[in-house]
Amino acid sequence: MAAEAHSPLEQFEIIKLIPIQIGPIDASFTNASLFMVIAVAAVTAFLTLSVNTRSLVPGRWQSMAEISYQFIANLVRDSTGTEGRQYFPFIFTLFMFILFANVLGMIPYSFTVTSHIIVTLALALVVFIGVTVIGFVKHGLKFLGLFVPSGVPIFVLPLLVPIEIISYFVRPVSLSVRLFLNMMVGHTMLKVFAGFVVMLGIWGVAPLAFIAVFTGFEIFVAVLQAYIFTVLSCLYLADALHPHH
Amino acid sequence: MELEAAKMLGAGLATMGVAGAGVGIGVLFGNYVGSGIRNPAGAKTQTGNLFVGMALSEATAIFALGIAMLILFG
């Protein structure tokens, strides 16, 4: 009846669906690639098909598309002001992709794209490097004034500036690791408790009830972590556009 | 000591870091509820900040839990 013991980390394995080799680079189409394509297709379908009716008083689907647009537009405008408006497409894409990728991973037997550090690190590095380049292009070397908060006595500066520099470079690490660990630990906990359900026999209803509640919590965490990633990206962008504290 | 036993002990010790998030989230929600009772209209403007703070505090707990998982299964 029971198969061999499965590790809770087995769900994160990358399976090559279509092996593609370009010289020394392994560019196979994996299950991660498949779910990224599904996420992008879902976002595109949701946004384009919902506004097809183009009615002035929106129905339900159009309302949802407009609400998601408005939500991020307000967020970008409140954090970055008017100069940040040109970065709204990037922030919106970031939010919708991470949201759909996280929530698609909650479907049983699917694969969570953001539960791999390389995916979240790529997203966080794009944000970090982009924001740094924007800061230098916009303000030149005065962008380094970001590390020197105003109103600080001179003798504290040799201690404060290295701390500020280190906390600036920790940003991509914390941004990526937060999303990655939330997704990975959430799914691993679900699998661990699923193992308990089988182990306990009839008393397995207790872990089962916990899994039911925890799955609801995980869906909330999936949405919240997408929002947190986006909010922090907007904050870093605002820091780059206005580096005076 | 065997590797399996050391892994279990390490994972158990690493999970103690989750306590910090409990304290942090409790402080956050306590302040929100306390000031919400004093100023109910103003409380609604801060629910967004509340959830941001909760996620950031929870992230620290998840960091500790992630290390525990890595010790146990990695």
Q: Note the pTM of the prediction, 2 decimals.
A: 0.88
CA atoms within 13 A on the CB side of B21: 17
> Residues of B with CB below 8 A from A185's CB?
62, 65-66, 69
Question: Of chain A residues 155-194, which have a CB less than 8 A from chain B?
Answer: 174, 177-178, 181-182, 184-185, 188
* A128-169: pLDDT as tens digits: 999 999 999 988 888 888 888 888 888 888 888 899 899 899
A245 vs B27 pLDDT, higher one = B27
Q: Is the pLDDT confidence value at A7 over 80?
A: no
Q: Indicate the number of domains in chain B.
A: 1
* B28-62: pLDDT as tens digits: 999 999 999 999 888 888 888 898 888 888 888 88
For residue A57, how many other CB atoms are within 10 A of its CB?
6
Cα angle B27, B25, B30 (rounded to 5 degrees) comes to 35
> Residues of B with CB below 8 A from A178's CB?
56, 59, 62-63
Of A7, A182, A188, the CB nearest to B59: A182
In DSSP terms, A30 is beta-bridged to A16
- What ipTM goes with this model? 0.74
Q: Where are the domains of chain A?
A: 11-241
User: What are the φ and ψ backbone dihedral angles of A29, each rounded to 5 degrees?
Assistant: -85, 105
User: What CATH number is attached to the domain comprising B39?
Assistant: 1.20.20.10
pLDDT at A211: 93
CA distance A54 to chain B (A): 30
Question: Cβ of A185 and B52 within 8 Å?
Answer: no
Question: Cβ of B62 and A178 within 8 Å?
Answer: yes
In DSSP terms, A25 is beta-bridged to A22
pLDDT at A1: 41
Closest chain B residue to A176, measured at CA: B59
